[in-house]
Amino acid sequence: FAGLAVRSVVQPLSSLIRSVRRVRTANPAAALPPFGNNEVGELGRAIDQWRSRVADAMSETEEHQHALRAEAFCETRHALAI
């Protein structure tokens, strides 16, 4: 019984860990697969929500940096023209 209980926790957690590592190294924007309606599934959904918020924040930051660079370029051209 104890071995079955350990496997029922360890195997899904190991699968979640592999999925998180795969997303981290291959495609941070990719969603994690579903992991069921148990505690491991809830943990997977929480990690995926966090991953999504981080990806959104990174995208927003990149857009802001692009806008700042464009503004700096225009200001530099304007200053050189004076």
Written as tens digits, the pLDDT of the chain (82 aa) is 667 667 777 888 999 999 899 888 888 788 888 888 988 899 999 999 998 998 899 899 999 999 999 999 999 998 888 7
Read off the tokens for 37: 């309606």
> What predicted TM-score, i.e. pTM, was given to this entire model?
0.69
pLDDT for res 2 = 65
Cα-based distances in Å from 65 to 3, 29, 48, 71, 75: 52, 19, 25, 10, 15
**pLDDT for res 81:** 87
